[in-house]
Amino acid sequence: MTNLIEIKGVTHAYKTPAGPLPVLDNLELSVPEGEFCAVVGPSGCGKSTLTRLVSGLMKPDTGEVWLHGERVKGPRKTVGMAFQNPVLLEWRTILQNVILPLEIVAGSMPQKDREARAMQLIEMVGLKGFENKRPSELSGGMRQRASLCRAIVHKPDVLIMDEPFGALDAFTREDLWQTMRDLRAAEPFTCVLITHDLRESVFLGDQVIVLSGRPAHTQYVMDVDLPADRTIDILYTPKVADMLHILRDQIKLAQGREPKVH
């Protein structure tokens, strides 16, 4: 399997009035094509910075970021992004919002094909019947579903999500996790998910990366050895409880606290 994302020895510091603030320290990360990589780490350790480097919005001081065999040197249209705040355009309907990336990257695609592609995803995430509504007429969970459709409508090489489910209530969040798995079962795509929810990282991830405290390096990598057709029930099994325990200890270590003996 080839690696879709390769991050090699990336070091980065922000320039601040108080001097350089080292944020990433010799970070290494590989994500094979089609894999789901969940990234967890202490608050402020450099997770959002990592997403900006992969999407080409920022260049690292040293080290290399490779995407699909090409060195990333600037912003790329082949990266889909989703954030905690869905940032949908209020003057557009849900369908028009989902179509937007196709207007930008697939200029020659006939309008009816664009609509068919957008509707395919809208149906898949359970928003059929809401395509002509405005974003403000939808709940937070529905808006996030629409924003996921918009992020993948143009079939980007990779979907990067920065805490996309963080603002949702626990039940809505679990529904979205299942939707995310259904989407990837129908249409496999590579994902990087930043999250601070360990259950989310295990349920969605093929691998979970724990970043150290700032400046962040890859402290721990967990291969999530669970069936591909998992449902939420799997989170209540002893195996997953053990995995969550290990991740929790790693996070504590990253925060500079001793793990509890157990």
Ligand X SMILES: Nc1ncnc2c1ncn2[C@@H]1O[C@H](COP(=O)(O)OP(=O)(O)O)[C@@H](O)[C@H]1O
Round to whole Å and give the CA distance between 99 and 61. Answer: 36
Question: Does residue 22 have a cis bond before it (omega within 30 degrees)?
Answer: no
215 binds ligand X (CB under 6 A): no
251 binds ligand X (CB under 6 A): no
Handedness of CA 17, 57, 219, 62 (dihedral sign): negative
> Reduced to 3 states, what is the DSSP secondary structure of residue 44?
coil
| Nearest of 169, 170, 172, 180 to residue 203 by alpha carbon | 180
| Nearest of 226, 209, 227, 207 to residue 218 by alpha carbon | 209
Cβ neighbours of residue 55 under 8 Å, at least 6 residues apart? 75, 76, 79, 81, 160
43 binds ligand X (CB under 6 A): yes
Kindly tell me which of 48 and 219 has the beta carbon lying closer to Mg ion.
48
Q: How far is the CB of 116 from ligand X (least distance, A)?
A: 37
Q: Of the ranges 46-54, 62-70, 91-99, 243-251, which one interacts with ligand X (CB under 6 A)? A: 46-54
Q: Report what 77 binds from Mg ion, ligand X, none; CB cut-off 5-8 Å by kind.
A: none
Q: How far is the CB of 132 from ligand X (least distance, A)?
A: 36
21 binds ligand X (CB under 6 A): yes
List the one residue from 45, 65, 72, 235 that touches ligand X (CB under 6 A): 45
Round to whole Å and give the CA distance between 28 and 60. Answer: 13
Round to whole Å and give the CA distance between 194 and 219. Answer: 15
Q: Report what 45 binds from ligand X, Mg ion, none; CB cut-off 5-8 Å by kind.
A: ligand X
85 binds Mg ion (CB under 5 A): no
Output the CA angle 257-36-122, nearest 5 degrees.
125
Q: How far is the CB of 43 from Mg ion (least distance, A)?
A: 8
Round to whole Å and give the CA distance between 253 and 41. Answer: 10
Round to whole Å and give the CA distance between 121 and 136. Answer: 20
12 binds ligand X (CB under 6 A): no
List the one residue from 3, 11, 26, 48 that touches ligand X (CB under 6 A): 48
Q: Of the ranges 47-55, 97-105, 185-193, 224-232, which one interacts with ligand X (CB under 6 A)? A: 47-55
Q: Contact letters (x/-) for Mg ion, 24-53, by CB under 5 A?
A: -----------------------xx-----
Q: Report what 173 binds from Mg ion, ligand X, none; CB cut-off 5-8 Å by kind.
A: none
Binding site for Mg ion (CB under 5 A): 47-48
Binding site for ligand X (CB under 6 A): 14, 16, 21, 23, 41, 43-49, 214
